[in-house]
Chain A
Amino acid sequence: MSRPQTLVPAVLLIASFASIAAASHSSRRWETDPRGVLIAIARAPEKERARRNPYAEQRDAVLAGAKLFREHCAECHGSDGWGSRHAANLHAADVQGATPGELEWLLRNGNIARGMPSWSGLPEPRRWQIVSYLKTMH
């Protein structure tokens, strides 16, 4: 293999590993809006905030939401939703004070810059089922 052919992948590898190492988790500050709701949630547009959960008050939706929570959310927020250094406590007032529409909006969009992925790959009914479960945590 000639030297230029070796050099290109080597430079690419070193640059990437350096970038990955530099991309450490930033510390979290949990800022809230005047209602006391996390800013990341309160950024939802007014139209989204007013949306109603089509599965509200449905027991099966809460059970399904609990199952989905275990599969997708518990890894960061903990199996009981109490959160961690990098993930919000879902029992807290700054989350429970949000409307169902805001929570669904947050699940759809994520908080990508701060580490929460978008869950738009989950069909909308499943996101509402998770919201149904989250609202039982207050």
Chain B
Amino acid sequence: MSMSLKRCSAVICAIIAAAIVLLQPARAQETPYFVTYSHHMEEPGNLEVEFNPVFGTQRGGNSYLAGTTEFEYGVKAWWTSEFYLDGQSTFGDGTLFSGFRWENRFRPLMREHWINPVVYLEYENVNEADKAMIEVVGFDEEADYAPPNSALRQAHNHELEGKLILSSDFKGWNISENFIAERNLGHDPYEFGYAVGASRPLALAASARPCNFCAENFLAGAEFYGGLGTTWNATTSGTSHYGVAIFGWQLPNGATLRISPGFGLNDNSHRFILRWGISYEIPSIGTRLRRLFE
């Protein structure tokens, strides 16, 4: 890790720590998904900080631990902006920063409907050693991760990604479908992918008293995601697909813990992946930071 990156990380950590010390707890409308997006946007003015590691097994190479640190900000009730920092550590190889992503989500319809669309646009600047796997597109497969980091990090990808997010809430369930199109700015055809998820709190009504272990604080569900080939060859074969279970625990202090064991559904996929994550909602971050300097 370079000195400038270390300094940048220290500044970000200091700002987050100051904001956390000053904040009152708030709870977002969390869905427990790691890959699928729903139509629930970040509340305006709030900043959600997330750390989402993923452990993956690797045939033909060493297993790895990758992860993203995410800063999600509610610009408007219909516009959420999110910045990602990616990194990974491959066992017996090395640890490296693998790039950044910046995405914006826009909700075009101002009311709730049976199906609620959201438009997602992302720019990503990551190298081939990125193993966060926050989406699967094109012909992504397990073998892509097998070469050593020293070789993978040489190739940089500057990509634009669009998603159409469709999401519904019904009797406590959230059901979301994402259709993904990604294109390397330098070359290559469009690559496609999908992600679908369903989740529900274990209890729909809230209890009268604050509690940590009430059923209302727990969420469970499942996600499926994978590649759909390219414009030259749109197909579900030759790429990887995953099915994962997801569990979430929302704490009254604004933190959410999530875990998601998952399995590859064909021979092109990692056999086992385990994701976990912690997120923390910082309400009205702009107002709080302004108060620091008043």
Residues of A within 8 A of B (CB): 1, 5, 8-9, 12-13, 16, 20, 23, 59-61, 63-65, 67-68, 71-72, 74-75, 108-126, 129
A12 to chain B, nearest CB (A): 5
Residues of B within 8 A of A117 (CB): 41, 43-44, 74, 77
> Does the CB pair B204–A123 fall under 8 Å?
yes
Q: Can you name 6 A-B residue pairings with CB atoms under 8 Å? A: A9-B123, A64-B205, A67-B207, A68-B206, A75-B43, A115-B44
Knowing A112-B110, A117-B41, A121-B31 are in contact, say whether A75-B206 is a contact too (CB < 8 A): no
Q: How far is the CA of A68 from the CA of B125 in the complex (A)?
A: 40
> Does the CB pair B208–A122 fall under 8 Å?
no
> Does the CB pair B174–A13 fall under 8 Å?
no
Residues of B within 8 A of A (CB): 24-27, 29-31, 38, 40-41, 43-44, 46, 74-79, 81, 102, 104, 107, 110-112, 123, 125, 156, 158, 169, 171-172, 174, 185-186, 201, 204-210, 216, 252, 283-284
> Does the CB pair A109–B209 fall under 8 Å?
no
Knowing A9-B125, A13-B102, A117-B43 are in contact, say whether A124-B172 is a contact too (CB < 8 A): yes
Residues of B within 8 A of A59 (CB): 208
A83 to chain B, nearest CB (A): 15
Q: State the total of A-B contacts with C-beta under 8 angstroms.
A: 107
> Does the CB pair A119–B123 fall under 8 Å?
no
CB-based nearest B residue for A58: B208
Q: How far is the CA of A1 from the CA of B155 in the complex (A)?
A: 11
Choose from B44, B104, B208 the contact partner of A63 (Cβ within 8 Å): B208
Known: A65-B206, A124-B171, A124-B172. 14 other contacts (CB 8 A): A5-B185, A64-B206, A71-B26, A75-B24, A108-B112, A110-B77, A115-B44, A117-B44, A118-B40, A121-B38, A121-B40, A123-B204, A126-B204, A126-B216
> Does the CB pair A112–B27 fall under 8 Å?
no
Of residues A74, A119, A123, which shows the largest number of chain B Cβ atoms within 10 Å of its Cβ?
A123
A79 to chain B, nearest CB (A): 9
Q: Is the interface of A mostly helix, strand, loop or mixed?
A: helix
Residues of A within 8 A of B283 (CB): 75
CB-based nearest B residue for A119: B29
Knowing A8-B123, A112-B107, A121-B40 are in contact, say whether A67-B77 is a contact too (CB < 8 A): no
Q: How far is the CA of A19 from the CA of B186 in the complex (A)?
A: 27
Q: How far is the CA of A52 from the CA of B210 in the complex (A)?
A: 26
Choose from B30, B40, B46, B77 the contact partner of A116 (Cβ within 8 Å): B77
Knowing A13-B102, A115-B44 are in contact, say whether A71-B125 is a contact too (CB < 8 A): no
Residues of B within 8 A of A121 (CB): 29-31, 38, 40, 169, 174
Q: How far is the CA of A68 from the CA of B26 in the complex (A)?
A: 10
